[in-house]
Amino acid sequence: MTKRQAHDAGQSEAGFDPELLLVLAKAGDGAALGQLLERYRNYMGLLVRLQVGRRLRRKVDVEDLLQEVWLEIHRKIVTFRGSCEREFLMWVRRMIGSILANQVRHFLGTKCRDLRLERALVDDLDQSSRALDRGLIAPQSTPSQQAVRREHAVILADALQGLPDDYREVIILRQLEGLSFPDVARRLGRTEDSVKNVWLRALARLRRTLEEPA
């Protein structure tokens, strides 16, 4: 198989192969790396958004920070030593943690690198990733074939992005940021009863989406 044929195989929508794309990306194929990053855009964006809300009080723009993460991945992909999606996502979370730590130091006015802060951010990112994989679907739900093949947290992030804005927001605030219903209601400018109704409908829609065949 030529390099071009390998790239086309990894690029196929139906046959998305993160392991093959990782091999190509580490070999310098910018298009392969670009496709990988696009596939994980929703996942990375959600993790960045959660950390910005918790650590930086929304003092930085999520899209700007995500762009910085992408540029850093482009610079350092040759140093990645893993070979599978799970290892790549762990590496990406460490990258996000390091960049977020720089942002936190900037806003706190400190100059020295804080390894404890970086480790805490990475741990927090790992917990957020696991939260995506746990609390958003019913235990009896049957995962789609796509979810069997790929990391559940990535599938969930993509499914969340496909929801109507109000559904997605109430799930993120309630399930992932851990806000109470009164706090979610204040954040969204709704009544508490309205928020609870939207939340129930949003979870039902999300579960249906996840159970649909890929």
Per the CB < 8 A criterion, the answer to whether 83 and 27 are in contact is no
The closest of 135, 125, 49, 35 to 89, measured between CA atoms, is 125
Question: What is the reported pLDDT for 167?
Answer: 96
Q: What is the DSSP letter of 179?
A: -
Is 9-134 CATH 1.10.1740.10?
Answer: yes
d(CA 180, CA 177): 9
Q: What is the CA radius of gyration of the chain?
A: 18
pTM to 2 decimal places: 0.78
pLDDT of residue 122: 75
Q: What is the C-alpha end-to-end distance of the chain, expressed in Å? A: 27
Listed by start position, the domains of the chain span 9-134, 138-214
Runs of H (alpha helix) within 56-191:
62-76, 85-108, 115-134, 145-149, 152-161, 165-171, 181-188
How far is Cα 125 from Cα 113, in angstroms, rounded to an integer? 19
10 Å CB burial of residue 111 (0-12, 13-18, 19+) is: exposed
CA distance linking residue 113 with residue 39, whole number of Å: 31
pLDDT tens for the chain, 214 residues long, are 344 443 443 444 445 788 999 999 999 999 999 999 999 999 999 988 887 766 566 667 888 888 999 999 999 999 999 989 999 999 998 888 888 888 777 665 555 566 676 677 777 777 777 777 665 654 444 444 444 446 788 888 999 999 999 999 999 999 888 899 999 999 999 999 999 999 999 999 998 888 775 5
For 6, residues 6+ apart whose C-beta sits below 8 A from its C-beta are 20, 23, 24
CATH number of 138-214: 1.10.10.10
